[in-house]
Amino acid sequence: MPSANKLRMPYPPKQWGARADVATSIIVISLCTVLAVAVRDEAAQANSAIVYLLGVLAVAVRCRRDVAIVNAILSVLAFHYFCVPHFDSFRLKDYDDLITLAGMLLVALVTSTQTAKIRNQAKEAMEREQRTAALFALSQELAKANNVVEIVQAVERIASGVFEANVRVFVPDDFRVIDSHSESARELATMDREKAAAQSVLDTGQSCIESERSFVPLMCAGTPVGVMSLMPYHAKDRLHFNSPHFFEIFCSQVATGIERAHGRAAARNAEIAIQTERTRNALLSAVSHDLKTPLASIYGSATSLLLEEQRLNKAESRELIKSIADESERMNQLIVNLLEMTRLEAGGQTKRDWFPLEEIIGAALTRLETALDGRTVTTQLRADLPLIYMDGVLIQEVFFNLVDNAIKHTPAGTPIVITAVTDGTTVTVTVADAGPGFASGDENRVFEKFFRGKPASARGAGLGLAICRAIIDGHSGRIVARNGENGGAVLCFELPIGGVPPQITVPTDVVHE
């Protein structure tokens, strides 16, 4: 099938013109006559008739139908004059020759008309094939297009080849034209006139012609969804009107494609609105619960300190103060997670440098020192771990959330194991716990925002692991969740080293004399 850029509307083959056809007819008759006269004394009369019939067939194949018919009549007359006795006259020696002439005339006329008919049928078949190919190419382009802009560009490209015209498509998007034409002052003025004409077509739903450019409404369900304007490259070409049925089908497909693109865009907008509403509701639910709980605890502890200050001993006062501090840290971490997720989704940039992994893990465990009270945390780090090019603050946040997640979802006192290995290009880190592990099917969902598993009994808004994935993705890494072979949850992420780590030089002591 021809490509979209090479599709052409099936124009009739280039004709030689009336004068050229007449000249061709005269030349063919002359050649046939010269040949017939040269052999009329030696050859049979039927052979001369065949020579003229071959000439009639040649003219019928090449020239227009009217010229072919005249050529057939002239050929019979020439045969009569030069090849039928008495030679070089129109007198008949035998009335049998009249039957011969009548039969030859009939054969010549039938040959010329049937040849023209077959040629027209072949041309029409080629036209139908090329029109079908054009519509097929258009439907493929419309199916691949994701939005109105891509549809307009595809239609302009295909229609320009199909109709041999300069084609522009207007859509009522604040009634701006979507095209890639240059914007000189003259072209801008022309564009303004074309927009005005296209707007008129949209308002009335009727075609119009403005400055040799035809404006046609693209109708879908009785409503114009756009306007296609065409100006043939040659002023005499108006083929889109000479084949109205094809042109109507072409415009109908374009209109359907534009309407379908509008429908997809509306569906996407509706889906985004629904997802936004779900996110907002989930955020309000999570924040209202996870902020309300620590605030109530802080308020209760602070009220007890104020009202029962005289009755409380130092241990009880210390316990209430510790509760206030813990709940404040919990609320602070929730706010940090919300802000961090907002920053990451807004395309926040990472601030990278070379850091040792041991330092990042140590900082995160220090922050969780209180929460880890009574637990054993084992770190198994390879001695050959290189420096990693990363954002130290964000990767520390990853470790904080992974360990905090293990604390929330495992019984008190159970161990947590952190391992890290390298293959020379990436570092693989694993955080494993001894809890119940993930429910079946939750391994991929735990990284979704606000997902807290079933039942969602643990504290938190369900943002910790979502933040971890966003940070690891921002470092071109990968994070996965699975259940351990001996039970418990395993969270594993990979980080690229990020190049050749710098060499750490140990400064030598300078000896002063």
pLDDT in tens, 348-366: 566 789 999 999 999 889 8
Confidence band, pLDDT 50/70/90 cuts, at residue 453: low
Q: Alpha-carbon distance 452 to 286, whole Å?
A: 10
Q: Alpha-carbon distance 468 to 431, whole Å?
A: 13
Q: What is the pLDDT of residue 56?
A: 81
Instruction: Confirm if 493 and 477 have CB atoms less than 8 A apart.
Output: yes
Q: Domain residue spans in the chain?
A: 18-127, 143-266, 349-496
Say if residue 258 is exposed, middle or buried (CB neighbours under 10 Å; 0-12, 13-18, 19+): buried
Q: 143-266 falls under which CATH superfamily?
A: GAF domain (3.30.450.40)
Q: What is the pLDDT of residue 344?
A: 60
Q: What is the DSSP string of 33-86?
A: HHHHHHHTTTS-HHHHHHHHHHHHHHHHHHS-HHHHHHHHHHHHHHHHHHHSSS
pLDDT in tens, 141-165: 888 887 888 888 888 888 887 887 8
- Tell which wins on pLDDT, 495 or 319: 495
Least confident of 31-35, 177-181, 387-391, 469-473: 177-181
Dihedral angle over CA of 464, 456, 429, 412, nearest 10: 110
Dihedral angle over CA of 340, 343, 349, 351, nearest 10: -30
pLDDT, mean over the chain = 76
pLDDT at 373 over 80: yes
- Give the residue-averaged pLDDT of 251-268: 84
Q: What is the pLDDT of residue 347?
A: 59
Q: E-strand spans in 360-503?
A: 377-381, 388-390, 416-422, 426-433, 478-483, 489-496
Q: What is the pLDDT of residue 169?
A: 84
User: Within 308-391, where are the H helices?
Assistant: 314-345, 357-367
Provide CATH code, domain 349-496. 3.30.565.10
Confidence band, pLDDT 50/70/90 cuts, at residue 54: confident
pLDDT at 96 over 60: yes
Instruction: Confirm if 298 and 328 have CB atoms less than 8 A apart.
Output: yes
Q: Alpha-carbon distance 365 to 377, whole Å?
A: 9
pLDDT at 289 over 80: no
Structure tokens at 402: 């992974």
